[in-house]
Chain A
Amino acid sequence: MTDDMTFKCSATAVDVRRMLGELRARLAAENLSDDNCSNIEIALAETLNNIVEHAYRPGGDGTITLTLMVGQRRLTCEVRDNGVAMPGLAPPAGTAPDITSQRATLPEGGFGWSLIRALTARLHYLRDGEENRLILDFDLGTP
Chain B
Amino acid sequence: MELSTTRHGDMIIVNVIGTRIDAAAAIAFKDAMREAVADGPAHVVLDLGNVTFVDSSGLGAIVAAMKALGDGRRLDLAALTPDVAKVFRLTRMDTVFVIHDALDGLTTRATG
Contact = CB atoms under 8 A, between A and B. Distances in A.
Contact of A16 (B24, B66, B83): B24
A49 B23 contact: yes
Given A13-B23, A14-B24, A99-B92, A49 B86 contact: no
Interface in A51-67: 52-53
Contacts of B59: 111
B56 A109 contact: yes
A115 B90 contact: yes
B91 A96 contact: yes
Interface in A82-126: 96, 99, 103-104, 106-112, 114-115, 118-119
Given A34-B82, A49-B57, A115-B91, A13 B22 contact: yes
Contacts of B56: 46, 49, 109-112, 115
Contacts of B95: 99
B23 A99 contact: no
B10 to A, nearest CB: 20
A13 B64 CA distance: 20
A52 B23 contact: yes
Given A41-B83, A109-B56, A111-B60, 15 more contacts: A13-B22, A17-B23, A38-B82, A42-B86, A45-B22, A45-B55, A49-B56, A99-B92, A99-B93, A103-B66, A106-B66, A106-B96, A108-B60, A111-B56, A118-B90
Interface residues of A, number: 30
Interface of B: 20, 22-24, 53, 55-57, 59-61, 63-64, 66-67, 82-83, 86-87, 90-93, 95-96
Contacts of B93: 99
Contacts of B55: 42, 45-46, 49, 112
Contact of A108 (B53, B64, B83, B90): B64
A61 to B, nearest CB: 16
A103 B64 CA distance: 10
A109 B30 CA distance: 14
B83 A42 contact: yes
A16 B55 CA distance: 12
Contacts of A96: 91-92
B86 A114 contact: no
Q: Which of A12, A99, A103 has the largest number of chain B CB atoms within 10 A?
A: A103
A38 B63 contact: no
